[in-house]
Amino acid sequence: MSSRHLLALALLAGSTALAAPAFAADLVMYDALDFAGTVAKAFTAKTGITVDVVEPGSTGETLGKIAAEGSNPQFDIVWLDGSAVLERMLQDKVLQPVPQPAFDGATFTALGKTLIPADHAFLPTGASTTAIEVNTRKVPADKMPKSWADLKAFAGRVAAKDPNLSGPSYQWLAGFFQTAGGAEAGKQLLAEILTDKKLAGFASGGKVNKEVLTGKADVGINQDSAIIAKQAAGEPVVAVYPTEGSVALPEGLGVAANSRHMDNVMKFIAFVTSPEGQAAMQAGDDTDYYFLPVIQGVAPKKGRPADINFIVLDDKVAAAHETEWKRWYRDTFVQ
């Protein structure tokens, strides 16, 4: 080879090296949880394993990014609220079952054990639920709703999230149908509650909080951790857990079907199910930091109720009807 060609190759190699990133992350995580970045930093500090934290936005936006990547997902792990959507991704082969050793290495509470799916679609790292958010300045104590059906008395003054945009909201919708005696009975009841489309299509719990706190809505259908975070900040709201029972909302960690970093995935799971990892998950004041721990020996943050009548969602039914029920909600309640 001529010296001229050798020089050209050397220059090309040099320019390629300069254009390449200084390092590639050891683990890529997509998430829609407030504490994910905090936990990733703590994990890296402990292990030296680098994590590229990708936060597209809401759960709906995160799921949209994953859907756009199709059969070539660019993440190793996904961490978000909701079991039904993770079950659907396992069925679609976007996720692989979480390996059994990940469960064997964690000391789950009784609640945590009930949230482990038989097919290992995800690993639960914490839990919350959906409650009725009530503005105590607008609703006197003797008028407090006690059940979902009681919200008929507040028709037109109920704020809610759109399950097409909010993963926790779809978990609630599927659970609402489950506890209402079926989808048709649930649809009829919800149609009597959400009678103002201007209040029924919010993208986040923060926007539901705003409507309730400003008095534009008397009550809201919201993730309880979002309500508890506002209570902790001194706002005049309470979380009412319906007498029908509260469908559990796991913080689920799923593993990409094509992950090439399984050793690091398993190390991350071991960290987040340890007391140290759980402490990192609580080191903040936003919504998701007020989760209910599912690891033995880990106490919830102050003000986080634990004595809740939890119901476990039938994830397979919810996953099978996800597109249908989301479309129905959008067509019925969203402007």
pLDDT tens per residue, range 160-182: 999 998 889 999 999 999 999 99
Q: Say yes or no: do domains 8-127+249-304 and 128-247+319-333 share a fold.
A: yes
Q: How far apart are CA 183 and CA 180, in angstroms?
A: 8
- DSSP assignment, residue 215? T
pLDDT value, residue 310: 95
Please write the tens of the pLDDT for every residue from 317-331: 999 999 999 999 999
Predicted TM-score (pTM) of the model is: 0.88
Q: Point out the residues of the chain with pLDDT beneath 50.
A: 1-23
CATH superfamily of 8-127+249-304: Periplasmic binding protein-like II (3.40.190.10)
Angle at 99 between CA 95 and CA 104, to 5 degrees: 140
Domain ranges of the chain: 8-127+249-304, 128-247+319-333
Distance of CA 191 to the CA centre of its chain: 25
User: Between β-strands 246-256 and 95-96, what pairing exists: parallel, antiparallel or unpaired?
Assistant: antiparallel
Contact (CB, 8 A) for 55 and 32: yes
pLDDT value, residue 99: 98
Q: What CATH number was assigned to the domain covering residues 128-247+319-333?
A: 3.40.190.10
pLDDT value, residue 44: 98
pLDDT value, residue 9: 37
Contact (CB, 8 A) for 308 and 239: no
Structure-token pair, residue 60:
């709906």
